[in-house]
């Protein structure tokens, strides 16, 4: 039975209950993070906590915990679920902060909100080896989300519908298009490689600033791989040599088929192979306590 953290208590998941008046339940009024931990060590924690702070600022909710207190809780949840993780002890922690509950359902913020804090962890499955030979397929869809996608809000209904639409089409991800430009995936950021240059859309309110995205750019910079943060026209996607999607739990995944047509030669490309090696080296350095 997984152990979760809820509002100051560690308890079995099935005993963890929140009020039906919680604004997360009624309005989707909250934010979240998903943070991987390799060998029990949290990956890019400072970056995730900074993004959490930005999301909380974005919804005008005070951070209920200091960074130190967050780390203590996350470490404790990982520890208490150690026996559910495999021998590598790779887990991802999910944390959620809502604006708590009030006596009545009212769009207006409660005068003195008491945020609800919920944390749980899940074992991370080993990356599927078939990804390296086959990649995944994706489709493009209109981005139907709101205007503040830089906030990691729990209000994910558009993302849910888009991801399901992709799955119904037999695709593993939807690439979202707004005003003719590719923004990101339904649960990932997007990269395109053309003539050796790694390209990704620039940060902005329309997309989530992915922690994996930023690490890919950092690794490109450190290893002198050419990259560019630039708008990507949806119409140009089929001229790409490679397309990747990135996220904390899926790492860097090559998209080899888009809208039923092959990308490049239909197999994961050489730039992806170099980047995933750099990424995995970094991950091992975190596991061994050399990096954070």
Ligand X SMILES: Cc1ncc(COP(=O)(O)O)c(C=O)c1O
* Active site positions, annotated: 152
Q: Choose between 61 and 175: whose C-beta lies nearer to ligand X.
A: 175
Give the contacts of 279 (CB within 8 A, at least 6 positions apart).
Answer: 215, 216, 219, 251, 252
The encoded tokens of residue 41 equal 């060590």
How many residues in the shown chain lie near ligand X by CB under 6 A? 13
26-45: which residues touch ligand X (CB under 6 A)? 34
Q: Which residue has the tokens 């119409």?
A: 235
Radius of gyration of the chain (CA): 20
The minimum distance between CB 151 and ligand X, in angstroms, equals: 11
Distance separating the N- and C-terminal Cα atoms of the chain: 29
The minimum distance between CB 184 and ligand X, in angstroms, equals: 5
The angle subtended at Cα 39 by Cα 123 and Cα 5, nearest 5°, is 55
Q: Choose between 213 and 283: whose C-beta lies nearer to ligand X.
A: 213
Q: Choose between 237 and 252: whose C-beta lies nearer to ligand X.
A: 252
Give the contacts of 243 (CB within 8 A, at least 6 positions apart).
Answer: 138, 175, 190, 191, 192, 193, 237, 254, 255, 258, 263
Q: Which of 188, 200, 206, 256 binds ligand X (CB under 6 A)?
A: 188
Give the residues across from 35 on adjacent strands: 93
- Single out the segment in contact with ligand X by CB under 6 A; choices: 11-19, 96-104, 126-134, 184-192: 184-192
The minimum distance between CB 124 and ligand X, in angstroms, equals: 12
Q: Rounded to an integer, what distance in angstroms lies between the CA atom of residue 255 and that of residue 257? A: 6
Q: Choose between 18 and 34: whose C-beta lies nearer to ligand X.
A: 34
187 binds ligand X (CB under 6 A): yes
Residues of this chain that interact with ligand X (CB under 6 A) are 34, 184, 187-189, 208, 210-213, 246-248
């Amino acid at each position: 039975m997984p152990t979760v953290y809820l509002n100051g208590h560690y308890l079995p998941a099935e005993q963890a209950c929140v009020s039906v008046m919680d604004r997360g339940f009624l309005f989707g009024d909250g934010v979240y993070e998903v943070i991987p931990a390799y060998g029990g060590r949290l990956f890019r924690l400072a970056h995730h906590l900074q993004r959490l702070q930005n999301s909380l600022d974005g919804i005008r909710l005070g951070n209920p915990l200091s960074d130190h207190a967050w780390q203590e809780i996350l470490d404790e949840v990982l520890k208490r679920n150690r026996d559910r993780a495999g021998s590598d002890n790779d887990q991802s922690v999910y944390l959620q902060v809502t604006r708590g509950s009030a006596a009545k359902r009212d769009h207006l913020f409660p005068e003195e909100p008491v945020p609800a804090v919920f944390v749980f962890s899940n074992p991370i499955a080993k990356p599927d080896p078939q990804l390296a030979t086959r990649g995944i397929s994706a489709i493009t869809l209109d981005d139907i989300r709101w205007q503040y996608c830089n906030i990691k809000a729990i209000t994910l209904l558009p993302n849910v519908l888009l991801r399901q639409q992709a799955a119904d089409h037999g695709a593993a991800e939807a690439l979202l298009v707004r005003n003719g430009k590719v923004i990101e995936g339904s649960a990932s950021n997007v990269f395109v490689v053309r003539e050796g240059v790694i390209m990704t859309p620039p940060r902005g309110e329309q997309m989530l600033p992915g922690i994996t995205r930023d690490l890919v750019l950092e690794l490109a910079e450190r290893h002198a791989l050419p990259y560019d943060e630039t708008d990507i026209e949806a119409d140009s996607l089929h001229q790409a040599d490679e397309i990747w999607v990135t996220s904390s739990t899926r790492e860097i995944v090559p998209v080899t088929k888009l809208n039923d047509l092959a990308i490049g030669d239909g197999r994961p490309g050489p730039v992806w192979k170099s980047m995933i090696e750099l990424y995995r080296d970094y991950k091992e350095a975190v596991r061994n306590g050399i990096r954070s």
